[in-house]
Amino acid sequence: MKFIAEINVMPQKEILDPQGKAVKLGLHNLGIDDVSDVRIGKHITMALDADSEADAQQRVETACSKLLANMIMEDYTYTLKEG
C-alpha cells in the first residue's frame, strides 16, 4: 500500500525561536502590527510503501523521532493517508 505522510516539525514552545521573532519584526515593518507571535517550523511530505497503516505509522514515527525532528528542541505532528 502507498501512503502519504504530511509532517509538521515545530520548535518546542518553551524554546526560543529567533527566526519567528525576526519575522514578527518584518511583519510589523509591513504594517501588520496585530501579529503577536510567530513560530516557524518545517513541513515535510513523504511518500512511502507499507504493508498496513500501522506499519506506515510506525515508520513515520521512527523517521520523525530519529531524523526529521530533534527531540531535544522540536516536536512533530503528522497526518497519514493512503495515496
Q: Which residues bind another protein (CB under 8 A)?
A: 11-12, 14-19, 21-23, 25-26, 29-30, 40, 70, 72-73
Write down the least CB distance from residue 46 to another protein, Å.
20
**Whole-number Cα distances in Å, 80 to 5, 13, 15, 64, 83:** 4, 24, 27, 13, 9
Q: Which is nearer to another protein, 1 or 22 (CB)?
A: 22
Write down the least CB distance from residue 83 to another protein, Å.
28
Q: Which is nearer to another protein, 3 or 41 (CB)?
A: 41
Question: What distance in Å separates the CA atoms of residue 57 and residue 50, rounded to the nearest whole number?
Answer: 9
Q: Which of 72, 76, 79, 78 is nearest to 14 (CA)?
A: 72
Q: Which is nearer to another protein, 39 or 48 (CB)?
A: 39
